[in-house]
Amino acid sequence: MLRGGKVGLRARHEEDIAVLRTELYDDVVNSARAEGGPWRPISPGSKDPRLVVDDKEQGNVRFSVVELEAGTLVGSAALWGIDTHNRSAHIGLGLLPSCRGKGYGTDVVTVLCHYGFVVRGLQRLQIETLSDNTAMLRSAERNGFVREGVLRSSAWVMGGFMDEVLLGLLARDWKPEPAAGAAA
């Protein structure tokens, strides 16, 4: 497990899948805002890659996010689109509705930066988020990400187009937290 100040990132457990399906992916509005495509129902037991991790897949690393004190599941995180030639990747995360607003998002981004820069040796991490996702924008900027641009009307969300903000962080500009990423 990789540890931050509040959360840990660990492998996906079978019991996590039902919670993530119910709390994140079956929520049409949340899913429509978080995914790059339209919402669709997921059949119980399906091998949807957002839920069931393929350990052979090298370009996407998915984690379950757990609160460190109690060990309870609080969300999902990923380093995706890993490009080993250009040494870059994208960061994504989703927190259960009851776990939002507690500082977990900033900590998840911190631990994902440690994983990307230290463990994977990447040069660049990138985040794309909807322009009204102030929580993600704050989490990214608190970790040193810089707004690099706005993709105007690039995301179709629940009947309308929205702008996306593109943020980037280079390894040389990253200022790691002393305890971030400590393995358990």
Q: Is residue 184 part of a domain?
A: no
In a domain, 139, yes or no: yes
The whole domain housing 140 covers 2-178
The answer to whether 80 and 89 have CB atoms below 8 angstroms apart is: yes
pTM: predicted TM-score of the whole model, two decimal places: 0.91
- What is the identity of the amino acid at 110? T
Count of the separate structural domains present in the chain: 1
In a domain, 73, yes or no: yes
Beta-strand pair 7-10/61-67? antiparallel
Three-class SS state of 91: strand
Q: Phi and psi (nearest 5°) for 47?
A: -100, 40
Q: Is residue 140 part of a domain?
A: yes
Copy the structure tokens of residue 101. 């607003």
* Closest listed residue to residue 46, CA positions, set 21, 13, 19: 21
* Per-residue pLDDT, 45: 77
Assess if residue 47 is contained within a domain.
yes
Look at residue 37 in the predicted model and tell me its pLDDT.
82
Give every residue of the chain whose pLDDT is below 50, as ranges.
Answer: none
Rounded Cα gap, residues 143 and 180, in angstroms: 12
Q: Does 48 reside within a domain?
A: yes
* Residue 44 lies inside a defined structural domain of this protein: yes
Q: What is the CATH number of the domain that holds 171?
A: 3.40.630.30
Buried b (16+ CB within 10 A) or exposed e, 129-141: bbeebeebbebbb
The pLDDT of residue 27 is: 86
Confirm whether 183 is domain-assigned.
no
